[in-house]
């Protein structure tokens, strides 16, 4: 059949063109550049100052802050950011807490600053009994929160969930919030001990409402009322669900930062990858001869296709991601070796080349399928449950295995049949 | 087949290695890097930024464990180290020869407790799903039972895979803890990724060998051949031997290239993967497959 010959030519031309468009031709290749992570090319460092002056458990508040901001950065699609707490002043004795946020590549730092800054800061504060007199006396002057409110340690950090609800009588949107176990106890304690006082709900330094505490609330549910539109309420509930800041933060500085694994890592890694690929190709060709050469061609197509997909999605390539890719290359090679070894066995039974490869593909398919399905299951679970570095690994592994199943089976098969089918 | 026949030797070898690894973990503990425990951050300003290699070699000479030097802004370097004593701090500042020190503060871990919890949860789910998947994919292996008498059911294939998986993750970890104790190699984020890659490879490799057992059982049934389960497993291992060696050789070659020609930062990572490939290939042949026979023998008296 000439069909395999034509399909092979078509595949080679198509992938050659893809490779040229995406990697060689400057004009088109640069349209879709690779995205590299902080560890390989560096990025931008943003430093935020956290106001922990009112906080008793500084370390805990900073740990929560780190988690919230990390989640926040992750939702706008930055892959593998680095978020780290910094504590200054063990020399000066002054407490100065900061948060370092590093974003890979030349990210849009303004956008990042804005989004991190938009993380809501929710506080529940007791209104001082003399608040009204203080307010009346100081109508002209700016008042600090401390002048009218007493901190009771209840903040958005104890939130477990927020959702939009509607006031049954007026139909106005309100936010229903639920505290986590710790928050529930704290809320019950506050409402028990301060019956009859006002508890103000303060969002980003602005008081939304200050209802009078009627009775102890044990179930950890509360409502935030305010002059929201439906959309505002929805946005606020969403932001609260991604996490509320335990302490207020202000932007302090930003600067570029080099790669965490060193600036030469990427070049050295690419060089090592090329040497590895050549060594592996030599091995396959020397051991399996013509079929080996075919598998090297299939591997080239495999690599091109995977890298094109990495560019298109785009996948941020980090050391972890590249590890996932290397593993998937190994599995792609394995698929070819499985087929060839099977074909060899069939040949020893006296079959001709064509029959042997037919049988080889047929027999090897089950083990390729099942071993790859197990890898895909692993990749999906790690992507779903893992944190950033684990996710990066899982993503490239998953893509790599999927692509390898296609190329090992269809591409190698087409090439081999084109060569051996002389009927 | 010697692999199955002398399985007690392989079991003993693996048990000794696992015991030694666990001992190393409990006796020495993990030499964890600043990724997990935080440390100190120092920002040095220069009038003209010196070569990064120079700074690195000077800090290396101070012998203060793992560190990272990263250019920042126009003329600065940011250096992350472990938590430093006053004396070490002075030594570091002298070594940097900076025009001024912008900041010298303590930093928290970059990979916090969240990572640990999530990674453990993810691995537990992965292991559970692999057992379920293998139980499903190999569900027909015990069907010829009527003819051959009590073949192991498919969940035992899953269990063997997971035992081999634990084997493949524990031993390289033990070796790294050992190296950490004597050579100061640290357990960092890359190490965690490396273990995940080993996990993936281990399962993949074991399934390929088991697939051959599955196929031979089916062929025996179709051709009405009577064969000992032990012989079937031995034959399957023998038939996949060439493939196992060649596959691990190709990956081994690639990793060697990464080890020798790759960036210094991923040297330990490449070493970890090389260990994982060797141990993973070994365990599919010498641990997982004989385990099938052992499980078979365990259930036999019930017949």
B120: left (phi over 0), alpha (psi -120 to 50) or beta: alpha
| pLDDT for res B303 | 44
Domains and CATH numbers, chain B: 2-32+112-302 (1.20.1640.10), 39-107 (3.30.70.3400)
| pLDDT for res A59 | 80
- C-alpha span between A330 and B40 (Å, rounded): 39
Q: Where are chain A's structural domains?
A: 3-39+262-420, 42-257
3-state secondary structure (DSSP) of residue A82: strand
* Residue B251 sits at the chain A interface (C-beta within 8 Å): yes
Contacts of A397 in chain B (CB under 8 A): 197, 200
pLDDT tens, A354-407?
Answer: 889 988 898 899 889 999 999 999 999 988 887 777 888 899 999 999 998 888
- C-alpha span between A99 and A83 (Å, rounded): 7
Give B178's pLDDT tier (boundaries 50, 70, 90).
very high
Task: Identify which of A231, A217, A142 has the alpha carbon closest to the alpha carbon of residue A186.
Answer: A217
Query: Cβ contact (<8 Å) for A385 and B197?
Result: no
Contacts of B68 in chain A (CB under 8 A): 260
Report DSSP letters for A257-291, one per residue. E--TT-TTHHHHHHHHHHHHHHHHHHHHHHHHSHH
Contacts of A395 (CB under 8 A, 6+ apart): A315, A321, A324, A379, A383
Which residues on neighbouring strands pair with residue A256, listed in sequence order?
A44
CA distances from A175 to A156, A234, A235 (A): 13, 8, 10
- ipTM of the shown complex: 0.87
Residue of B nearest to A265 (CA): B263
Question: Range with the lowest mean pLDDT among A90-99, A109-118, B136-145?
Answer: A90-99
Question: Range with the lowest mean pLDDT among A149-163, A197-211, B14-28, B143-157?
Answer: B143-157
- Give the residue from A386, A391, A397 with the most B CB atoms within 10 Å of its CB, the best one to mutate: A386
CB of A379 within 8 A of CB of A401? yes
Query: Cβ contact (<8 Å) for B130 and A387?
Result: no
Query: Cβ contact (<8 Å) for B266 and A287?
Result: no
Query: Cβ contact (<8 Å) for B115 and A387?
Result: yes
For residue A30, the distance in angstroms to the closest alpha carbon of chain B comes to 25
Residue of A nearest to B193 (CA): A320
Which fold does the domain A3-39+262-420 belong to in CATH?
Answer: Multidrug efflux transporter AcrB transmembrane fold (1.20.1640)
pLDDT tens, B42-93?
Answer: 999 999 888 888 898 899 888 888 888 999 888 899 999 998 888 898 899 8
Q: What tokens were used for B83?
A: 């938590």
Query: Cβ contact (<8 Å) for A273 and B257?
Result: yes
Contacts of A87 in chain B (CB under 8 A): 105-108
Question: Range with the lowest mean pLDDT among A104-113, A119-128, A304-313?
Answer: A104-113
Query: Cβ contact (<8 Å) for B265 and A89?
Result: no
Query: Cβ contact (<8 Å) for B203 and A375?
Result: yes
| pLDDT for res A140 | 66
For residue A42, the distance in angstroms to the closest alpha carbon of chain B comes to 9
Residue with tokens 């294939």: B157
CB of A265 within 8 A of CB of A259? yes
Please compute the mean of the pLDDT values over residues A297-318 and round it to a whole number: 91
Residue with tokens 């490799």: B205
- Give the residue from B246, B256, B259, B288 with the most A CB atoms within 10 Å of its CB, the best one to mutate: B246
- C-alpha span between B265 and A266 (Å, rounded): 10
Q: Which residues of B36-71 are buried (b: 16+ CB within 10 A; e: fewer)?
A: bebbbbbbbbbeebbebeebbebbeeeebbbbbbbb
The architecture in CATH of the region A42-257 reads 2-Layer Sandwich (3.30)
Which residues on neighbouring strands pair with residue A212, listed in sequence order?
A198
pTM over 0.95: no
């Amino acid at each position: 059949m000439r069909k395999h010959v034509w399909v092979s030519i078509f595949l080679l031309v198509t992938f050659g063109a893809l490779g040229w468009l995406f990697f060689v031709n400057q004009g088109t290749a640069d349209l879709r550049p690779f995205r590299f992570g902080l560890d390989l090319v560096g990025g931008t460092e943003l430093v935020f100052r956290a106001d922990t002056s009112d906080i008793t458990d500084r370390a805990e508040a900073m740990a929560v802050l780190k988690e919230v901001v990390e989640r926040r950065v992750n939702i706008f699609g930055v892959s593998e950011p680095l978020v780290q707490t910094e504590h200054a002043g063990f020399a000066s004795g002054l407490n100065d807490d900061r948060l370092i946020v590093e974003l890979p590549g030349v990210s849009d730092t303004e956008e990042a600053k804005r989004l991190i800054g938009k993380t809501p800061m929710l506080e529940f504060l007791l209104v001082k009994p003399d608040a009204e007199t203080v307010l009346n006396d100081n109508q002209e002057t700016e008042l600090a929160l401390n002048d009218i409110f007493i901190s009771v340690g209840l903040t958005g950090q104890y939130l477990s969930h927020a959702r939009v609800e509607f006031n049954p009588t007026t139909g106005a949107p309100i936010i229903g919030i639920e505290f986590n176990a710790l928050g529930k106890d704290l809320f019950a304690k506050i409402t028990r001990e301060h019956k009859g006082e006002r508890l103000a709900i303060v969002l980003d330094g602005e008081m939304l409402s200050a209802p009078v505490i009627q009775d102890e609330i044990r179930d950890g549910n509360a409502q935030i009322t305010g002059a929201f539109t439906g959309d505002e309420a929805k946005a606020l509930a969403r932001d609260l669900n991604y996490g509320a800041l335990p302490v207020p933060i202000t932007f302090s500085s930003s600067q570029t930062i080099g790669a965490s694994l060193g600036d030469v890592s990427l070049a050295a890694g690419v060089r090592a990858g090329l040497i590895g690929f050549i060594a592996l190709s030599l091995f396959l060709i020397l051991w399996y001869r013509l079929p080996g050469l075919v598998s090297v061609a299939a591997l080239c197509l495999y690599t091109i296709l995977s890298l094109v997909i990495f560019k298109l999605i785009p996948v941020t390539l980090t050391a972890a991601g590249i590890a996932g890719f290397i593993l998937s290359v190994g599995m792609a090679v394995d698929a070819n070796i499985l087929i060839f070894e099977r074909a060899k066995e069939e040949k020893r039974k006296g079959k001709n080349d064509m029959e042997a490869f037919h049988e080889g593909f047929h027999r090897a398919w089950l083990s390729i399928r099942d071993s790859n399905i197990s890898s895909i299951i692993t990749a999906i679970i790690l992507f779903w449950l893992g944190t950033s570095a684990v996710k990066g690994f899982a993503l490239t592994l998953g893509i790599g295995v999927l692509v390898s199943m296609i190329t090992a089976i269809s591409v190698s098969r087409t090439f081999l049949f084109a060569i051996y089918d002389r009927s | 087949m010697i692999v199955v026949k002398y399985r007690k030797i392989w079991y003993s070898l693996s048990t000794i290695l696992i015991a030694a690894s666990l001992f190393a973990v409990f006796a020495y503990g993990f030499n964890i890097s600043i990724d997990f425990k935080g440390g100190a951050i120092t920002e040095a300003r220069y009038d003209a930024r010196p070569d990064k290699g120079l700074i690195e070699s000077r800090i290396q000479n101070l012998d203060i464990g793992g560190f990272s030097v990263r250019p920042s802004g126009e003329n600065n370097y940011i250096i992350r180290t472990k938590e430093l004593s006053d004396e070490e701090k002075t030594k570091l500042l002298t070594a940097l020869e900076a025009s001024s020190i912008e900041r010298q503060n303590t930093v928290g871990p970059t990979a916090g407790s969240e990572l640990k919890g999530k990674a453990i949860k993810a691995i537990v789910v992965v292991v559970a799903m692999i057992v379920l998947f293998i139980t499903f994919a190999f569900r027909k292996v015990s069907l010829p039972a009527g003819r051959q008498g009590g073949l192991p059911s498919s969940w035992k294939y899953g269990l063997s895979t997971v035992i081999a998986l634990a084997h493949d993750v524990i031993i390289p970890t033990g070796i790294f803890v050992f190296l950490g104790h004597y050579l100061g190699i640290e357990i960092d984020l890359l190490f965690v990724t490396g273990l995940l890659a080993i996990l993936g490879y281990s399962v993949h490799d074991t399934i390929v060998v088991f697939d051959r057992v599955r196929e031979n059982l089916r062929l025996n049934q179709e051709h009405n051949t009577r064969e000992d389960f032990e012989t079937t497993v031995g034959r399957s291992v023998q038939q996949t031997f060439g493939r196992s060696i060649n596959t691990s050789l190709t990956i081994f070659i690639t990793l060697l290239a990464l080890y020798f020609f790759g960036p210094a930062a991923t040297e330990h990572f490449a070493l970890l993967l090389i260990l994982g490939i060797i141990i993973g290939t070994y365990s599919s042949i010498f641990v997982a497959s004989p385990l099938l026979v052992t499980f078979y023998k365990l259930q036999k008296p019930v017949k």
